[in-house]
Structure 1
Amino acid sequence: MSDIAHDTDRPRTVSADPPRPRSGADDPPRPRRYAVFAVVGLALLMFSLDQTSVATALTTISTDLGADLAWTGWVITAAAVGQILALPLGGWLSNRFGGRWMFLGGVALFTLFSVLSAFSGSIGQLIACRFAQGLAGGVMMPAASGVVAYQFGRDRDRALALFTSVFPIGAIAGPLLGGVILTTWTWHGIFLVNLPAGILLLAAGVLLVPDPPRPGQARMDVRGIVLLVLTLLGLMLTVTRLGALGVAGPSLPVTLASAAVAVGAGAVFVRHTRRRPDSVIPLRLLTGRGLGSMNAANVLFGAVAIGFSATLPLYAQVRYGMAPLAAGVMLTGRAVGTIVASAPAVVLLRRTGHRPLMLAGIAMIVTGLVATAVPPPGVSAELWLLLGTTVLGLGTGLVIPASNNAGMHLVPDEVAAVSGLRIMFRQIGGIVAVSTITAVISASDRPGVAGGIAFVVLAVLLVGAGTLAARVPNHRGRW
């Protein structure tokens, strides 16, 4: 979730931002860039806090609203689905109305639906509100990225890479905040904390955030967006219902029907992309010039990064019986490790290129995943999980800045389009991973062991992602 999508001046991207001047010596940084970065960073922090604090409350929400755990997992995945679906719309809206107003509008809507989530009385209502939150975030984050990219000019690669330091801060504070709220109050308060933060961000944004230059109005690929929506929703419903097979009710017919929708819509979407040059996802950015390998690697990396973070608190509770606060604290190691390693990684990018950092980071993440999956060797479960997540976090801090820049230098004139694809593919991988893991845990007679096996599978997938990423040409220096 640390990727930011933005848009070019052509209507063929998945992404979401007004364009900027071309990179180079004639694109100097703007004077207000640090103040703008601070406002945007706080908005991303609010988004990160929301995601990680909710992860600690899945079992509590499930019990309070009387929902099975597989459906409760949609509290997380619905927000991610909404974010993905908003990316192509965010670009068109930013080009039409301006990145500044899309950023402010996204913050306002995110805050509003946070409050509505807090007062949800059923799992269906909560999922709907979370989906709307994801839509707002999907509009807000790409627009914010475009604003920052314009402000930093030729240094935008490092500015955007530094966004990786914002999300881990939320990953530290979010589980702690969620655990404290659950211990002292109720899960409803997890969403209410966004109200004062949203109000402050709106006030600061009105005063400080400028509007980047706007291109001409772009033609939106409505058919492509509709097909993409059907594909993603069909896929997510299929994965969720797989965990309910064998339970009383029409699980099998619903699963088969949603799978048919996902496959059918996906096939038509691929054909549509091949035939339309200005498709919402251009074919040449899917498969050309090494980007195909990077896109596939991003799906797998998203499955690991997002899937692990969202389900670790649940795993800690069902396997080791930890309280929500203690389970949330386990993510602190990952966040601290990511922050510690990401800053040196940003500095090293122009010297070593992305490949050495990615391969070293992947090896550390695999080590951390396997460690969390196996029983503690003579130490407490809390200490063992904390050590494993810290190693995983150090690896994540190396991988994310490197992978953010891995494909963009291949098409330097279409950085926004590649950025949009990156966040979309990672979120897709993350959604599938979260839904699959929660479904497997809820359906298993030994949910803790099932969760550990799922983490080992994530480690295997990450090895595959590293193999694919190694095929992308390395690049040193500016791009």
Structure 2
Amino acid sequence: MTDTVPDTDRPGGAPPPDTPLPRRKLVFAVVGLALLMFSLDGTSVAIAITTISGDLGADLAWTGWVITGAAVGQILALPLGGWLSDRFGGRRMFLAGVALFTLTSGLSALSPSIGALIACRLVQGLAGGIMLPAANGVVAHQFGHDRDRALALFTSVFPIGAILGPLVGGLVLTTWSWHGIFLVNVPLGVVLLAFGLALVDDPPHRGAGRVDVVGIGLLVLTLLATMLTITRLGSSGSGTGSGVLLTALAAVVAVLAGVAFVLHSRRRPDPVVPVRLLAGRGLGIMNITNVVFGAVVIGFSATLPLYAQVRYEMAAFVAGALLTGRAIGTIAASGASVALLRRAGFRPLLLVGLGATAAGLVVTAVPPPFGDPATWLFLGSTVLGLGGGLAAPAANNAAMHLVPDQVAAVSGLRTMFRQMGGIAAVSVMTAVITASGDPGRAGGITFAVLAGLMVVAGVFVARVPNQRGRW
């Protein structure tokens, strides 16, 4: 626990340096609303894919890149967002991310072709990837020794967006058009910019320094080649001769670029991503855990409706509604996790959460021993949500308390690893289900495999030293 010196022992009665700042709740509201805007955008756009395809005269394969492009941009920017915040200031990067996201939302609404829309969405993803790590750094600075609880509360923002996004997207699409899904971000973004300029203080940062151009290039090449390999593994054309060659070539490039990046980072005194953030002091275990956690949560959300339809022949609406259980469970358990974090420490909550998440996957994987399949799958979804709600705030703090002076960088890497795990899970699980002669049974096996990976991650997490109280 952080010790504080009484105000009377400081010159002029100045508060301790880790004291929460007066406007922290207003700043949290601004930053939280920005995160909610980003979350809503990601889930509401999915509702309009078929409408966008018809209106712009594009096939669904290309239109799907309206979602994929934003995800790619976000993953590329996330590890750079923390570095940029550390060099140029969290306030500046947060406001730049909001401004760029707002601008590209307006341009997306005005896009005359699918190519222009995909380009705008790629930049939107970049803006979000810059904004998210900076937002964590801003909140950590504002809340001082209470930053653990404030950062843990961020966990509930994205599930709220996951619930509201399809509803907002459907409402706008019904009463207006797909253009409106992007346009609603513009006035909200302008308001956030105005309040951000007035309220947000700049966290301490190092200054610009020399730009690690080589490190950035190697990092981007590693991420692009890795994502291409993952998506090719889940592609229907990857089994052909040319498909296998392309997948193998992408994998080789990813490995070589990754090794070169690590070697470069070890030699350079001030790299874009220090090696110690990837593997040092328990961070390596947490990074691997975040890959598995992202694979479970994102993979489950993306494939549960498909699984329910192919195994139990459920209607699309009922299959999609099953995810409500996960969202509600996550929001409810996140509050309990935040309340217990200081008393129990992150490790017990993380272990219980990972165990509950694995249990939810097992329930989903096996046929219902009683009741109808919809009730049984809703139960599995809710248990998984409860586990995720307990684990996510604890996992956030587990990594960040190890390097409290680099909150933005660690939060960017954490989200990047979760997103990459999610992309891998969605690609592989979808390919397995669609290629199997018994897709329902194949889906159940994939959920069981994810449960096993979660248990293995829990074994390694048990080795990370616990942290109670403030950090």
TM (norm. structure 1) is: 0.83
- Name the CA shift for 1:370/1:437 in 2 (closer, same or farther; >3 Å): same
**Shift in Å, 1:276:** 2.5
Other-structure match for 2:227: 236
Instruction: Call closer, same or farther: CA 1:409–1:334 in 2, change over 3 Å.
Output: same
Distance 1:324 1:44, change over 3 A: farther
Letter of the structure 2 residue corresponding to residue 295 of structure 1: N
What residue is the counterpart of 2:281 in the other structure?
289
Partners of 2:299 and 2:231 in 1: CA distance: 14
**Within 5 Å, which residues of 2 pair with 1:199-214?**
199-214=190-205
The equivalent residue for 1:158 is 149
Work out whether 1:392 is the aligned partner of 2:358. Answer: no
Rounded Cα–Cα distance in structure 1 between residues aligned with 2:246 and 2:114: 19
Contact 1:302/1:427 (8 A) holds in 2: yes
Query: Compared with structure 1, are the counterparts of its residues 190 and 366 closer, same or farther at alpha carbon in structure 2 (3 Å cutoff)?
Result: farther
Contiguous gaps of at least 5 residues in structure 2: 1-14
Partner amino acid, structure 1, of 2:389: G
Deviates more, 1:354-363 or 1:370-379: 370-379
- Displacement of 1:45 in angstroms is 0.7
- 1:423 pairs with one of 407, 411, 415: 415
1:37 deviates by 0.5
Structure 1 residues 250 and 127: alpha-carbon distance in aligned structure 2, compared to 1, 3 A threshold: farther
Distance 1:315 1:184 in 2: 31
Are 1:85 and 2:76 an aligned pair?
yes
Separation (CA, whole Å) in 2 of partners of 1:54 and 1:447: 28
Aligned to 1:66: 59
Q: Find the counterpart in structure 1 of residue 167 from structure 2.
A: 176
Residue 42 in structure 1 maps to residue 26 in structure 2: no
**CA RMSD of the aligned region, Å?**
3.2
Q: 1:454 aligns with which of 422, 443, 446?
A: 446
What do the CA deviations read for 1:18-60 (whole angstroms, capped 9, x no partner)? xxxxxx9432111111111101101111111122334556677
How many angstroms apart in 2 are the aligned matches of 1:440 and 1:57?
26
Query: How far did 1:396 drift?
Result: 0.9
Tell me how far apart the structure 1 counterparts of residues 90 and 43 of structure 2 sit (CA, whole Å). 27
Question: Quick check: which has more Rg, 1 or 2?
Answer: 2
Report the Cα offset of residue 361 of structure 1: 0.9
Aligned-residue offset at 1:414? 4.3
- The equivalent of 1:17 in structure 2 is none
Aligned residues: 454
Alignment pair present for 1:131 and 2:122 = yes
Residue 325 of structure 2 aligns with which residue?
333
8 Å Cα contact 2:79-2:413 kept in structure 1: no
Equivalent pairs: percent with the same residue?
Answer: 69
Name the stretch that deviates more: 95-104 or 365-374: 95-104
Instruction: Report how far residue 95 of structure 1 moved.
Output: 4.8
Distance 2:368 2:109 in 1: 37
5+ residue gaps, structure 1, are: 1-23
Contact 1:358 1:402 in 2 (8 A): yes
- CA-to-partner distance for each residue in 1:157-183, whole Å, 9 max, x for gaps? 111111112122112212333455667
Q: CA deviation at 1:185?
A: 7.1
User: 2:155–2:334: 8 Å Cα contact kept in structure 1?
Assistant: yes
In the alignment, the residues of structure 1 paired with residue 245 and residue 369 of structure 2 have an alpha-carbon distance, to the nearest angstrom, of: 44
Identify which range, 99-108 or 372-381, moves more after superposition: 372-381
SS of corresponding position for 1:27: coil
Higher relative contact order (CA 8 A, sep 6+): 1
CA positional deviation for 1:139:
1.1
Whether the 8 Å CA contact 1:179–1:328 is kept in 2: the answer is no
C-alpha separation between the residues in 2 aligned to 1:277 and 1:361? 38
Matched ranges for 1:347-386 at <5 A: 347-377=339-369, 379-386=371-378
In 1, distance between residues paired with 2:331 and 2:138? Answer: 23
> Corresponding residue for 1:20?
none
